[in-house]
């Protein structure tokens, strides 16, 4: 129902569950026959890393090309990366991890595909690292086939991958007309899962910063309408996002945008969420850099430096930056499918050790349910051990009183070390917020 009026999820290329690598490769319609043959030869010869790396790079190239049709400046605003300019080559400025995040957020594919692709990214990055001296590291057939399946289902299997087209239509609507509260799109949006409302809010805030003239007026009016309706249920990190945007446009001298967002904030008494200063931006940028390092090649070697930088910014993390800082730090602490960066552990632990109970409560109640990165990690066995021992038990998180019963159940399962329950609950929370019933 939601998909019909907002933006439809492109269909997933259906692959038989028991399909072999050869069979799946034939579904990769975006590859030429010659390329398909090369992939199959690599599989036959046992060159799984080579096959997986090639497939991954082609999938990412197709994905980024689609994203680029939305405009680099807009993508930069969505990612809160002002360094991205309109005419930058997308392959140079947007990482694979960011491309996945954007694609998931803009519904270019579903949450399940996004989780699988994130896992594939970890895999490809891990094997792209030079092995340590004496280390035997070989990708298995199953791992390479997993990468192949994810890439084909989400991107390479489409005749023409046009995942951004639907979203572009929706975005055009937001900037081309002013909606009324009883317009069908608004009614459906308000009835949709949280994920849709948050994405719409993020898109509107990004457009506020990038548009001028009549489109800006429409965007501001639609933002005002949306904020008035969704503010009571809006999670605090997203409220801070609105407040931060107000501060940013105010400081950049954009009076029209500041007046528009200010009007919306005033209507919901939301000025408490305008940060006192933009110091929180420093933390957010440092956290983003840490997370980008965590999801890139050589992450185990490179994480200590950005982790130390984040730790050194100050003993108290401003609340507007808490969600980003904890996502990045917990990611470092629990690592990925292949383990974690040992050199970054001391500083990551120091940062988490400083948190107060109320800060943990804020993260667990207001942020974790929409933290796809951490929830995604909690569906993996390796990271679960560290999550249980170094996060939940170490800080006694199961004893924190929470409103979110789903998160509470997740923490209870974690405290008991009930691995399958943790994975199941993490999936349920993800599906609840995204409005899906998918089984990753």
Q: Sign of the CA dihedral 212, 218, 222, 227? A: positive
**Out of 1, 92, 253, 401, the residue judged to bind other proteins by CB under 8 A:** 253
Question: Which of helix, strand or coil describes residue 102?
Answer: helix
Q: Tell me: does residue 401 bind other proteins (CB under 8 A).
A: no
Number of Cβ within 10 Å of residue 67's Cβ equals: 24
User: Least separation, in Å, of the C-beta of 232 and other proteins?
Assistant: 19
Q: 274 or 384, CB closer to other proteins? A: 274
Q: Tell me: does residue 31 bind other proteins (CB under 8 A).
A: no
Q: Tell me: does residue 277 bind other proteins (CB under 8 A).
A: yes
Q: Tell me: does residue 433 bind other proteins (CB under 8 A).
A: no
Q: 266 or 416, CB closer to other proteins? A: 266
User: Is 184 buried (19+), middle (13-18) or exposed (0-12) by CB count in 10 A?
Assistant: exposed
**Out of 46, 146, 215, 262, the residue judged to bind other proteins by CB under 8 A:** 262
Q: Tell me: does residue 130 bind other proteins (CB under 8 A).
A: no
DSSP class of residue 303? T
Q: Tell me: does residue 316 bind other proteins (CB under 8 A).
A: no
Q: Tell me: does residue 252 bind other proteins (CB under 8 A).
A: yes
**Out of 23, 140, 251, 381, the residue judged to bind other proteins by CB under 8 A:** 251
Q: 187 or 259, CB closer to other proteins? A: 259
User: Least separation, in Å, of the C-beta of 255 and other proteins?
Assistant: 5
Question: Judged by CB under 8 A, which stretch of 136-144, 153-161, 258-266, 321-329 contacts other proteins?
Answer: 258-266
Residues 54 and 21: their CA atoms lie apart, in Å, by 14
User: What Cα–Cα distance (Å) separates residue 356 from each residue in 238, 352, 367, 432?
Assistant: 21, 9, 16, 28
Q: Kindly determine how many residues on this chain lie close enough to bind other proteins according to the rule CB under 8 A.
A: 25
Residues 376 and 383: their CA atoms lie apart, in Å, by 10
User: Least separation, in Å, of the C-beta of 260 and other proteins?
Assistant: 10
User: Least separation, in Å, of the C-beta of 273 and other proteins?
Assistant: 9
Q: Which of residues 173-212 bind other proteins (CB under 8 A)?
A: 212
DSSP class of residue 184? H
Q: Tell me: does residue 276 bind other proteins (CB under 8 A).
A: yes
Q: 276 or 439, CB closer to other proteins? A: 276
Q: 318 or 440, CB closer to other proteins? A: 318
- In a 13 Å sphere around the CA of 328, the CA atoms on its Cβ side amount to 29
Q: Tell me: does residue 254 bind other proteins (CB under 8 A).
A: yes
Q: Tell me: does residue 214 bind other proteins (CB under 8 A).
A: no
> Which ranges of 211-298 would DSSP assign to H, the alpha helix?
213-230, 236-251, 255-267, 279-294
Q: Which of residues 215-244 bind other proteins (CB under 8 A)?
A: 243
Residues 289 and 98: their CA atoms lie apart, in Å, by 11
CA dihedral 90, 94, 98, 100 (to 10 degrees): 30
Number of Cβ within 10 Å of residue 64's Cβ equals: 21
**Out of 46, 71, 82, 215, the residue judged to bind other proteins by CB under 8 A:** 82
User: Least separation, in Å, of the C-beta of 82 and other proteins?
Assistant: 6
**Quick check: 103 and 195 in contact, CB under 8 A?**
no
Element (H, E) at 105: helix 96-105
Which is nearest to 438 in space by CA: 109, 217, 125? 109
Q: Tell me: does residue 342 bind other proteins (CB under 8 A).
A: no
**Out of 159, 182, 272, 353, the residue judged to bind other proteins by CB under 8 A:** 272
Q: Tell me: does residue 321 bind other proteins (CB under 8 A).
A: no
Strands (DSSP E) found in 76-128: none
- In a 13 Å sphere around the CA of 422, the CA atoms on its Cβ side amount to 26
DSSP class of residue 132? P
Q: Tell me: does residue 169 bind other proteins (CB under 8 A).
A: no
Q: Tell me: does residue 85 bind other proteins (CB under 8 A).
A: yes
- Judged by the rule CB under 8 A, the positions of this chain that interact with other proteins are 82-83, 85, 212-213, 243, 246-247, 250-256, 258-259, 262, 266, 271-272, 274, 276-278
């Amino acid at each position: 129902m939601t998909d019909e009026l907002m933006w439809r999820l492109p269909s997933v290329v259906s692959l038989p569950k028991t399909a072999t690598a050869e069979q799946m490769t034939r579904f990769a319609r975006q590859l030429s026959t010659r390329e398909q043959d090369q992939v199959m030869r690599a599989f036959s010869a046992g060159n799984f890393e080579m096959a997986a790396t090639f497939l991954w790079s082609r999938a990412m190239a197709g994905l980024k090309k689609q994203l680029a049709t939305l405009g680099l400046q807009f993508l930069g605003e969505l990612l809160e990366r002002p360094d991205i300019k309109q005419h930058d080559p997308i392959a140079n400025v947007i990482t694979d991890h960011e491309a996945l995040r954007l694609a998931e957020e803009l519904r270019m594919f579903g949450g399940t595909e996004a989780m699988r692709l994130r896992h594939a990214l970890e895999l490809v990055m891990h094997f792209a690292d030079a092995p340590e001296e004496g280390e035997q590291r070989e990708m298995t057939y199953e791992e390479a086939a997993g990468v192949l399946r994810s890439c084909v289902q989400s991107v390479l299997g489409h005749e023409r991958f046009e995942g951004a087209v639907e979203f572009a239509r929706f975005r055009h609507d937001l900037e081309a007309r002013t909606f009324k509260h009883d317009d069908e799109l608004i009614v459906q949006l308000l009835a949709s899962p949280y994920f849709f409302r948050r994405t719409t809010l993020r898109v509107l805030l990004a457009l506020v910063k990038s548009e001028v003239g009549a489109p800006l007026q429409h965007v501001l009016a639609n933002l005002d309408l949306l904020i008035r309706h969704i503010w009571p249920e809006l999670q605090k990190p997203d409220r801070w996002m609105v407040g931060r945007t107000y501060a940013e446009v105010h400081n950049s001298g954009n009076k029209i945008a500041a007046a528009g967002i200010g009007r919306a904030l005033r209507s919901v008494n939301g000025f408490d969420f305008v940060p006192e200063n933009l110091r929180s931006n420093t933390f957010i940028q440092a956290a983003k850099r840490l997370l980008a390092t965590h999801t890139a090649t050589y992450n185990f070697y490179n994480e200590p430096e950005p982790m130390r930088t984040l730790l050194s910014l100050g003993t108290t993390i401003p609340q507007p930056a808490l969600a980003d800082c904890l996502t990045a730090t917990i990611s470092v602490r629990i690592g990925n499918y292949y383990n974690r960066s040992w050199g970054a552990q001391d500083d990551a632990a120091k940062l988490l050790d400083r948190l107060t109970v109320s800060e943990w409560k804020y993260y667990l109640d207001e942020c974790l349910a929409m933290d796809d990165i951490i929830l995604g990690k909690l569906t993996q066995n390796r990271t679960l051990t560290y999550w249980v021992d170094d996060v939940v038990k170490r800080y006694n998180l199961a004893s924190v009183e929470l409103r979110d019963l789903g998160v509470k159940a997740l923490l209870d399962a974690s405290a008991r070390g009930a691995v399958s329950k943790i994975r199941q609950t993490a999936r349920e929370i993800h599906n609840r917020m995204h409005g899906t019933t998918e089984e990753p």
